[in-house]
Amino acid sequence: MSSDAMAIRNVEVGSLPLVETLHGWLTTVDHKRLGILYILSALLFLAIGGVEALIIRIQLMRSHNDFVSPEVFNRMFTMHGTTMIFFVAMPILFGFANYLVPLMIGARDMAFPRLNAFSFWLSFLGGLLLYFSFLGGSGLYGAGNAPDVGWWAYAPLGARAFSPGHSSDYWTFALLVSGFGSIGTAINIIATVLCMRCPGMKLSRMPLLVWLNLVMAGMVLIAITPLSAAQIMLVIDRYLGGHFFDTQAGGSAVLWMHFFWIFGHPEVYVLVIPAFAFLSEIIPVFSRKPIFGYPVMVAATVAIGLVSTSVWAHHMFTIGMNSYANSFFAITTMAVGVPTGIKIFNWIGTMWGGRIQFKVPMLFCIGFLFQFLIAGLTGIIQAAVPFDWQLSLSYFVVAHFHYVIVGGILFALFGAFYYWYPKMTGRMLSERLGKWHFWLFLIGFHLTFDVMHVPGLLGMPRRIYTYEPGRGWDTLNLIISIGAFIQAIAILVFVANLIISYFKGAKAGNDPWDAWTLEWSTSSPPPAYNFATVPVVASRRPLWDLKHPEDPDNQYE
Amino acid sequence: MAGLIIAESAIFTIFVVAYLFYVGKSLTGPTPQEVLEAPIFFTICLLSSSLTIHFAGKSLERGKHGAFLILWSLTILLGGLFLYGTGREWRRLIYERGLTISTNLFGTTYYSLVGLHAFHVTAGLFMLSMVLIFGLAGRVGADQFRRVDVLALYWHFVDTVWVVVFTVVYIVGR
């Protein structure tokens, strides 16, 4: 196979001149390199999306502020949302999945290495396409014009008449292109997990991270595709004069909302399930105990995957559905809380009685547990339809979903960075800088998003570019903005840590955390071929068996 | 391929839902009752191509190279006939009945759904033709039958979707 030849040549890449190194990265089909490329591109977009968030926060810092114009403000929140979901969260989680899944199941690479490379470049170029709109949004005459229709582009805002120029087209095609990339990756993960496990790695012995990513990939297949279909319809509307979402010709704006949220809500779980996956690997290792309730964890994940496909319309209580639909979606939404609660109890059960080591990855995971619980609770609050009527489209909602995505997913991701960075680079991240990062980010996060609930309750709507003084929102918004800047500083500490530790960090060795899954049995960073001999496993913790031959795990399973 | 089929099914589901949602909601004519005629013959063509591709795969597995090539070509022929049928129907609708994609909601949903399916048939025909070219060059041996089977799976999927589209457009929608 040509891919083998290419990967083996990459081994001595360090001694090659720069151009060839770059060429090697550009043409790579190695799952580890693609994983790192995914993560790096996501970090790039994280910085851009973060700057957009800061611009929003500066504008809202005080009433009647004129830091940016209303038009720019609309572009900022649209680009911030779109970037963070599609070009930060998805790629970074795919990156970790790409890197870890083959290593954890003892495989040589993903099932379709070239499809893997294709998917990465699709999603990366999708991101570039979105940002090209700043230049080409109005067809390159005059100043640029980024999409300003909100990240969900409700009809009729997306229609030709209300969104002239090409800005919405860039948005549409960026999402369409990166969506196809996501589908490719999902197919790849499923095929890899089902067909490439090493001998002895039964489904019941797979690490939970692999299980959860399998469920995630399955959800991508049925969640991303409705968005792609809806985008195709939007293109037909905009370019071929179709009437899907054109209310004047009998079309329906509500149909777009349904299609968008059929994608939109499962998408949250597509993002959070890999975060669960990180926790399920990190918490046991730093509690020095095997995971509590492995089969229940798997079952709960599958249950979340199934139930979350039938909750989408809880984003749409305010559009006036009939009471049966409202009740149905309220009940299913609350039902999702059950398997999620099971998971939280299982992680606490894992920590219970363990010898907990408060290393940085563990700190972030504990932060996740608290914050995700609160995020879940505010979610349940809003599942109550009358309460949602009051709070929908207010800053309470903004606080709620940032609690999920920042307080939950991003915290888990930071934990994953500190945990697997030694495997990816061979160097440890600095614990001291890591603790600075953790505490600064924690403080900034809570300043911003705890306080953000309050103006929402006081009636501050989202997406307004400024507000009247004397409504009691001023001080609160100032605190929120200060918190945002503290978070930005924490991110700078994190980036500094990534760079400094890459050159000066302590050597990691194969297994710095005394962990139990297969990726720690190979060198750090792993060679292109991953494992010199195909590993054979007999339990869920193959490295435990190796280290403790007198007390192997499989006699308890 | 099973993963791809799940993803594709979801896309088609959304288009079918849109079609059903908009049945009878057009504000202006022409309506499906006035203009649509069920393409029975071309449907039979497409559905029987599922049979021919199945037996083509079987012949390849048993090493009957000639039978494989004949049945495979027959599949492409039947698929091409179906595509011709769709083209003729569209031509009639556009030039004789004045129904285009921007005429009304029926036009939008009809051309999108049938067009999406026709696009998949075209993609399928393209892949089938590639296999045929390789087959004529003698590069498709009995050891390749699993790969050919994967392609056949896609073709069966396209046929199955047509059953759904046919039901929705020509039976329920009228």
Rounded distance between C-alpha atoms, residue A383 and residue A381, angstroms: 5
My answer on whether omega of the bond before A156 falls inside 30° of 0, hence cis, is: yes
Chain B residues contacting A, CB < 8 Å? 3-4, 6-8, 10-11, 13-15, 18, 21-22, 25-27, 101-102, 104-105, 108-109, 112, 116
Q: Residue A3's pLDDT band (boundaries 50, 70, 90)?
A: very low
pLDDT score of A10: 46
Contacts of A186 in chain B (CB under 8 A): 3, 7
Chain A residues contacting B, CB < 8 Å? 183, 186-187, 190-191, 217-218, 221-222, 224-226, 228-230, 232-233, 236-237, 240-244, 249-252, 255, 259, 262
pLDDT tens string A181-230: 999 999 999 999 998 899 989 898 899 999 999 999 999 998 999 999 99
pLDDT score of A7: 44
Is residue A162 within 8 Å of A248, Cβ to Cβ?
no
pLDDT score of B98: 83
Phi then psi for residue A507, to 5 deg, are: -60, 135
Token pair recorded at residue B97: 């009945």
- Residue B74 covered by a domain: yes
pLDDT tens string A105-140: 999 999 999 999 999 999 999 999 999 888 776 655
Selecting from A183, A217, A251 the residue whose C-beta is nearest the C-beta of B105 gives: A251
Phi then psi for residue B25, to 5 deg, are: -100, 0
Mean pLDDT, range A161-171, rounded to an integer: 82
Reported ipTM: 0.89
Contacts of B108 in chain A (CB under 8 A): 236-237, 242-244, 251
- Residue B72 covered by a domain: yes
- Residue B13 covered by a domain: no
- Give the type of residue at B115: G
Q: Residue A177's pLDDT band (boundaries 50, 70, 90)?
A: very high
Is residue A65 within 8 Å of A77, Cβ to Cβ?
no
My answer on whether omega of the bond before A525 falls inside 30° of 0, hence cis, is: yes
Rounded distance between C-alpha atoms, residue B164 and residue A536, angstroms: 46
Q: Residue B96's pLDDT band (boundaries 50, 70, 90)?
A: confident
Q: List the one residue out of A165, A73, A79, A69 whose CA is nearest residue A129.
A: A79
Best probe of the B interface among A213, A243, A259, by most B CBs < 10 A, is A243
- Residue B22 covered by a domain: no
Is residue A259 within 8 Å of A231, Cβ to Cβ?
no
Q: Residue B39's pLDDT band (boundaries 50, 70, 90)?
A: confident
Q: At B99, which CATH number? A: 1.20.120.80
Q: List the one residue out of B158, B154, B161 whose CA is nearest residue B3.
A: B154
Q: Residue A538's pLDDT band (boundaries 50, 70, 90)?
A: confident
Contacts of A249 in chain B (CB under 8 A): 26-27, 104-105
Is residue A208 within 8 Å of A143, Cβ to Cβ?
no
pLDDT score of A139: 54
Residue B113 burial (10 A CB sphere; 0-12, 13-18, 19+): buried
Q: What domains can you pick out in chain A, each with its CATH number?
A: 2-555 (1.20.210.10)
Do the chains contact at B26 and A259, CB–CB below 8 Å?
no
Report the number of distinct structural domains present in chain B: 1
Do the chains contact at A251 and B8, CB–CB below 8 Å?
no
Do the chains contact at B11 and A249, CB–CB below 8 Å?
no
Helix ranges (DSSP H) in A66-196: 70-82, 90-104, 113-136, 167-195
pLDDT tens string A439-462: 999 999 999 999 999 999 999 999
- Residue B132 covered by a domain: yes
Residue reference for tokens 């999702």: A336
% chain A with pLDDT above 90? 66
Averaged pLDDT score across all residues of chain A: 90
- Residue B124 covered by a domain: yes
pLDDT score of A5: 41
pLDDT score of A1: 35
Handedness of CA B9, B11, B12, B16 (dihedral sign): positive
pLDDT score of A403: 94
Inform me whether the pLDDT recorded for A14 exceeds 90: no
Residue B34 burial (10 A CB sphere; 0-12, 13-18, 19+): exposed
Name the least confident of A152-161, A303-312, A537-546, B117-126.
A152-161
Handedness of CA A225, A227, A228, A229 (dihedral sign): positive
pLDDT tens string B42-95: 999 999 999 999 999 888 888 888 899 999 999 999 999 999 999 999 999 988
Instruction: Choose from A7-11, A248-252, A313-317, B18-22 the range with maximum mean pLDDT.
Output: A313-317
Residue B152 burial (10 A CB sphere; 0-12, 13-18, 19+): buried
Burial A157-196 (b: 16+ CB within 10 A, else e): bbbeeebebbbbbbbbbbbbbbbbbbbbbbbbbbbbbeeb
- Residue B25 covered by a domain: no
Inform me whether the pLDDT recorded for A144 exceeds 70: no
pLDDT score of A159: 81
Q: A233: distance to nearest CA of chain B, Å? A: 8
Handedness of CA A293, A299, A305, A311 (dihedral sign): negative
What domain range includes position B160?
38-172
% chain A with pLDDT above 70? 96
Name the least confident of A166-170, A277-281, A377-381.
A166-170
List, as one string, the DSSP characters of B86-152: HHHHHHIIIIIS---TTT-HHHHHHHHHHHHHHHHHHHHHHHHHHHHHHHHTT---GGGHHHHHHHH
Size of the A and B interface in Cβ pairs below 8 Å: 81
Q: What is the DSSP letter of A87?
A: I
- Residue B85 covered by a domain: yes
Contacts of A222 in chain B (CB under 8 A): 6-7, 10
Partnered with residue A461 across adjacent β-strands are A394
pLDDT tens string A464-515: 999 999 888 999 999 999 999 999 999 999 999 999 999 999 998 889 999 9
pLDDT tens string A408-443: 999 999 999 999 999 999 999 999 999 999 999 999
Name the least confident of A4-18, A74-88, A165-179, A364-378.
A4-18
pLDDT score of A13: 47
pLDDT score of A156: 81
Phi then psi for residue A392, to 5 deg, are: -55, 145
